[in-house]
Every structure is written in structure tokens, then in C-alpha cells.
Amino acid sequence: MSDRPKLVFITSRFPYPLEKGDKLRAFHFIKGLSKSYEITLIALTDQSIADEWLNELAPFALQTHVFKLSKPKQIFRLGLNFFLHAPFQVAYFTESKVKRQINQILKNLKPDHIYCQLIRAAEYVKNYHDCYKTLDYMDALSKGMERRMENAPFYAKFIYRMEATRLREYERRIFNYFEFHTMISLQDTYYIAHPEQTKIKVVPNGIDTQFFSPMDSVHKEFDLVFVGNLSYAPNVDAMVWFEKNVLQKNKDLRILIAGASPSQKILQLQKRNSHIVVEGWQADIRHAYARGKTFIAPMQMGTGLQNKLLEAMAMELPCITTSLANDAIHATENEQIFVCNNAGEMATQIRLLQKDLALAASTGKAGRKFVESNYSWARCVEELNTIFRIQH
């Protein structure tokens, strides 16, 4: 019988494969926390889970419970939710039958702590009070929705505005059901409209700097590279903006856009510009980073910390981004990272790095040192351990 405390880790998606930020965060937290806790993973999903994905978590989770949500019920809940007050993404992930099953698991297990990732999963454990609970907001989803609304077509603005308002209220209301709260970046804590929002602890994402390291043997065939989930709205928006405002005026630049699930908007970019190459899911995403000379992350909307930037920096790529992204990372401008907030600045910086190879190399090395010092997964896990130890 293990004498380690029992930790229930609940997620709104199965934390593998690691093509999305919430999965990456959950996987590394589970892996790190398994050294100190007996972990039971409860994962929601709307897709089938492959055996090899389960095997990736098996060394770290003593028990794994996967609940596949009913697609017809999800559609019904979304329709009904127009007349209710919950955020649509909370309604999408909350199923009453699954809630009863999770309650039974908790009743039998009697955990010492519950860690809930994202407000999407909060309804399942908010009324369980037999142990302390931590809610990982990750990002201020309400603020992210507001930023999407600004760039949305006129016919969609109403929905985005409704969801942003509901999210803001839910983020405030759900706070009181949990004893501890975490977020990825300090700037996002300011958007949680709760009188005790200063108590939210910042626990950033980490980077495996042994895995993400320079690959000097790979030929750098592209001037620029962007990596990310290519169906995620802020990533799609960033690339559409970049193609329209930078690439159309600098047609000689070759760019690789790589990542899971390219949207139609991303695929259309490749059709319009022969210097744009779009590649989907990569077995080893490092090879996408390594094929570019400069990494760009021209984020125009979104919240939280950009893992892709940290990964690129760890691989010693000089990185160009916007204030929106660097405000979460806090890298030193013009030394560890380049911050450009308009198309003209961005094009000028790209050309400068093309000409000044010494600057590109020194910035890449400084960026890696910054990531090594500030964003290790071990350090992030220890931040969580500090929270969990408060209860003892």
C-alpha cells in the first residue's frame, strides 16, 4: 500500500498526444507529480483514445478513467444553453451521467487533493468538499474570447460577446468553489474579476530543454518558421495577418507553417503563395523548428504563454513576436527576443537577421539560456508541490 498522498487530476481532454497546450501542461505535471503523489487521472474526451496514448500515461497514473462524451448530447446542450447562463464551452464538456460516475470514483477513492485543469471541467468537482481542490484556469478564457470578438465577422460578434460575458461571470463565480487557483501568466490573473484574484498563483509552462535543443545538422531551408496548432484561432489569425501584411510585400521570403490540423484558412495561404509551405502533424516537431532560420509568432490575439516561442528559443532560433506574447514570457527585448508590433517593424527585423548572422546567433543562444533559467518543468512542478503542501 502506497503511503503517498492521493491526487486526482481531472482534464477536459486526454493529455496525449501533445499537440495542444493544455495536453502538454497536463502531461508534464502528471509526470512530475507522480514522484510524490499517487495519481488518478480522470479525462474527458470526444474522440476515441488509442492504446498507445494510454501507455504513455501508464507509468505516471496509477488509475486512468476516460469518459467519452456523447456527441448528440453535446449538440443538444449547446442548443439548450442559448436559454441558460453557463459558458458554451462549460456546457459542451459537462454531462450529468459522467458527473455521477466521477462522484462515485471520488467517494470510493477519498483523495487528498483534486487538481482540475480548466474551468471546462470544474462542474464535475465543484461541489466535492471532502478535500482541498486546485483550479488551474490556465488562461483568462474570457479575455481571449473578447480578443477573438474584435476580429470576428459581424455575424459572429454576437456569439463571441455572449460567450465572453458568460466566461467572465463564470470565472468569477467558480473561484469560490476551490481553495487554490493557478494560471500560466501574471497578466492573465488581472482579468479574473474576483476580489481575491491576487491570491492566484502563477505556475507557468515548462520546456524540456534536453529534448528541445539545437539541431545543427538539419538544413535550414526556410527563412521563417511558425509552429503551432493550426486550427487554434489565435494561430490561424496570426498567420493570416502575417501573410497579408508582411509576406505580400516581401514575396521572396520562404516560410514553413507546421502543426496539427491545418484549417482551411491556413491551407489557402499555401495556395496563394508558392513560398509558403504548410505541413500538418509532425512525428518530431523539432525538425520543423530546425528547418527555419528565424521563428515568428506574430500573435494578434489570445492569452497565456506561448509554448511554441519557448520551444523555438530552446532550439536557439532567433524569435520575433509581439508584445501580446512577450508580456507573458518576460524575455529581454533585443537581447533574448525581438518584439515588433506592426508589419513594418517585423519586416525590418527579419531583414536585419538575414544580414547579421552574428546577431541571429547571439540572440538564439541568449534565448536558450533564458528558457533554461526560467522555464524548466521541474521548477513548475515544484510550484504546484508548494501549493499542495499548504494543506498538510
Asked if 109 and 197 sit in the same domain, the reply is: yes
Does 366 lie in the same domain as 244?
yes
pLDDT at 357: 98
The reply to whether 211 falls in a domain is: no
CATH of the domain at 174: 3.40.50.2000
In the predicted model, is pLDDT for residue 392 greater than 50? no
What backbone torsions phi and psi does residue 337 show, to the nearest 5 degrees?
Answer: -160, 160
pLDDT tens profile 228-265: 999 999 999 999 999 999 999 999 999 999 999 999 99
On average, the pLDDT of the chain sits at: 95
The answer to whether residue 188 scores a pLDDT higher than 50 is yes
* 163 and 244 belong to one structural domain: no
Residue 212 in domain: no
User: Identity (one letter) of the amino acid at 333?
Assistant: E
- The CA distance from 39 to 17, in Å, is 19
Place of cell 459542451: 92
Say what angle helices 141-151 and 233-245 make with each other, to 10 degrees.
40
Residue 214 belongs to some domain of the structure: no
Q: What is the pLDDT of residue 332?
A: 98
Largest CA distance in the chain: 66
CB 105 within 8 A of CB 67: no
pLDDT at position 334 is 97
pTM given for the model? 0.87
228 within a domain of the structure (yes/no): yes
Report, as an integer, the average pLDDT of 3-22.
95
Residues 381, 346 share a domain: no
pLDDT on residue 390: 63
Tell me the Cα Rg of the chain: 21
10 Å CB burial of residue 386 (0-12, 13-18, 19+) is: exposed
176, 267: one domain: no
Q: Does residue 304 register a pLDDT over 70? A: no
Q: Say if residue 154 is in the same domain as residue 260.
A: no
Contact 347, 250 (CB under 8 A): yes
Residue 296: how many CB atoms within 10 A of its CB?
31
Domain coverage including residue 336: 222-374
Specify whether 52 is located in the same domain as 177: yes
Residue 344: Cβ within 10 Å count: 12
DSSP E strands, 302-367: 319-321, 338-339
Region at 180 (left for phi over 0; alpha for psi -120 to 50; beta for the rest): beta
Q: What is the pLDDT of residues 337-380, one digit of tens each?
A: 999 999 999 999 999 999 999 999 999 999 999 999 999 999 99
Q: What is the mean pLDDT of residues 294-301?
A: 96
> Within a domain: residue 344?
yes
pLDDT tens-digit profile of 206-224?
999 999 999 999 999 999 9
**Number of structural domains in the chain:** 2
170 in Cβ contact with 255 (< 8 Å): no
In a shared domain, residues 159 and 307: no
Strand order in the sheet with 292-297: 276-279, 255-258, 222-227, 292-297, 319-321, 338-339
Q: Has residue 391 got a pLDDT over 80?
A: no
Q: How far apart are CA 19 and CA 260, in angstroms?
A: 6
Residue type for position 234: P
pLDDT-derived band at 152, boundaries 50, 70, 90: confident
Binned at pLDDT 50, 70 and 90, residue 155 comes out as confident
pLDDT at 229: 92
CA distance linking residue 93 with residue 99, whole number of Å: 10
CA nearest to 314, candidates 332, 298, 336: 336
Residue 146 sits in the same domain as residue 259: no
Query: Which residues neighbour 74 within 8 Å (Cβ) at sequence distance 6 or greater?
Result: 46, 92, 95
Q: Is 63 helix (H, G, I), strand (E, B) or coil?
A: strand
CB < 8 Å & 24+ apart, contacts of 281-289: 281/19, 282/258, 285/227, 285/258, 285/259, 285/311, 286/211, 286/212, 286/215, 286/315, 287/215, 287/218, 288/225, 288/227, 288/256, 288/258, 288/259, 289/212, 289/215, 289/225, 289/227, 289/315, 289/317
**369/380 same-domain check:** no
Q: Are residues 310 and 186 in the same domain?
A: no
